[in-house]
Amino acid sequence: MAIKDLKHVHKKTRLGADVFVLNNGAEINAEAEAMLQALHSRSTGGFLEHLKKLEERGAEKFMASFYVGYGHKSIGDCGSTTIFIEGVSMLVAKAIQDWQLYSGQESSTRYVDFSKQAFINLADSKEGEEIQETWRAFYLKAQDPVRESLKKRFPIQEGEKEAMWEKAINARAFDITRSFLPAGASTNLAWHTNLRQAADHIMILRHSPLLEVRELAQAMEEVLREAFESSFSHERFETTENYNEAWQKTENYYHNSKTPDFALEKNEIDGGDLEKYREILEKRPEKTELPRFLDELGHLQFSFTLDFGSFRDIQRHRAVMQRMPLLTEEIGFHPWYLAELPDDLRKEAVELIEAQLKKINDLGLSKEEKQYYLPMGYLTSCRVSGGLPQIVYLVELRATRFVHPTLRERAQQMAKVLEEKFGSSGLKLHLDEDAHRFDVRRGEHDIVEKGSE
């Protein structure tokens, strides 16, 4: 069958989001694949015999009986699918990705044309639309002045290719001006998941404090049920639904207006215990992860403030535990973004932020709903917990010159703590020794089709 003839399961939400479950044209779909693996674990007939049973019986009744009916949830781990989600706010994307087993991709703010991109105006009011469009107007107005300012600060050097230099300048300009985009700006993402994790995460998402998330959870469940009917007919238990709804009302978002600028809040790792593994710590080569068994020594927990735009980057580290921060104005707008603007534009930005905040507060929305109108440059309360292998991986990846400066600063602070606490036990970090340098190779960090440049 040709790709154009494939029928993908599609659902549009009331708020305009599109949800697709990919049909890859395979004769053996996710449910059938799960059935084959389950049969393989329960008999010695062999793979070819199981294929015959699949052809004779089909996967539907098997999955309905064993995965759903008898509650063998591990069977759902054996079949996977990809869900494509379009036209949702940054807040919805973060909610879907707030899952340590999430795999997928989201649109980058560098490569989206925000002159045309829709905003999700949850208040459905003229005033809300005007606030979001005012942010858009400033974002677009700032592009050229910021680029010209960056070109003066970081002139092209001998031996650098002009095209790559231009791309690096543009990337830096987008990284600066994204701070003025409201979190209600729409984005697209893909979620690759097994059937079990899809059901488990949607069970949480359908009780989110955000209406947009709840509607999307319902749409995802509907398209998945249509695509894999036997795997998404789980009984709902009222006590479980009530429990999930109750805790999300108070704990879905994390916010502490007194969050320290940066602090190590917990350290469960005893230096003496770590000393036993000195050789492993000292001999680890560059671009190599520490063995996971070191997790048993305990966890570290860091608290710090970070702008919402950079939280979108650090949230990609699924191996560590992170709380979903509430986007609010209480901690202030990150000063780095303002400092990066040309002088005349900086003054205008400060005045704009003050005027916009008053209009946002006049909308009379809940703290969760206000997020749709606040720009991503505002600071949030972040908390990151993990074992030494996960924290070291995060630090080494995010403390380089190719990482957004506001996140790089936090990674460097974490690196300093790790060296102070565990350097005497043999821990060696492989860090970028020139992390603050403007490197035009940042212009290579793109995905383009051959012949499109």
Mean pLDDT is lowest, of 61-65, 73-77, 200-204, 426-430, for 61-65
The mean pLDDT value for 279-294 works out to 96
Q: Identify the sign of the CA torsion 65, 66, 70, 71.
A: negative
**Predicted TM-score (pTM) of this structure:** 0.89
H/E segment holding residue 205: helix 195-205
Closest C-alpha to 217, from 245, 175, 246, 257 = 245
| 80-123 residue pLDDT tens | 999 999 999 999 999 999 999 999 999 888 777 888 899 999 99
Distance CA 194, CA 79 (A): 5
Question: What pLDDT is stored for residue 442 in this prediction?
Answer: 58
Q: How far apart (Å, rounded) are the C-alpha atoms in residues 44 and 67? A: 21
Q: What is the pLDDT of residues 398-437, one digit of tens each?
A: 999 889 999 999 999 999 999 999 999 999 999 987 767 6
Give yes or no for residue 67 having a pLDDT over 90: no
Per-residue pLDDT of 371-407, as tens digits, reads 999 999 999 999 999 999 999 999 999 999 889 999 9
Q: So what's the pLDDT on residue 135?
A: 98
Q: Is 82 helix (H, G, I), strand (E, B) or coil?
A: strand
Residues in the chain: 453
* Residue 230 contacts residue 68 (beta carbons within 8 Å): yes
In one letter, which amino acid is 76?
A: G
Domains of the chain: 3-107+185-248 (3.30.1360.170), 126-183+335-370 (no CATH), 262-331+377-437 (3.30.70)
Mean pLDDT of the chain: 90
The residue that leads in pLDDT, 436 or 317, is: 317
Mean pLDDT (whole number) for 363-368: 97
Q: Are 362 and 131 in contact (CB under 8 A)?
A: no
Q: Which pLDDT score, from 0 to 100, does residue 451 have?
A: 44
Buried b vs exposed e over 170-180: b needs ≥16 C-beta within 10 Å? bbbbbbbbbbb
Burial class (CB in 10 A: 0-12, 13-18, 19+), 155: exposed
CA within 13 Å, CB half, 328 = 19
| Confidence bin at 300 (pLDDT 50/70/90) | very high
Q: What confidence score (pLDDT) does residue 65 get?
A: 63
16: its two tokens:
């305009």
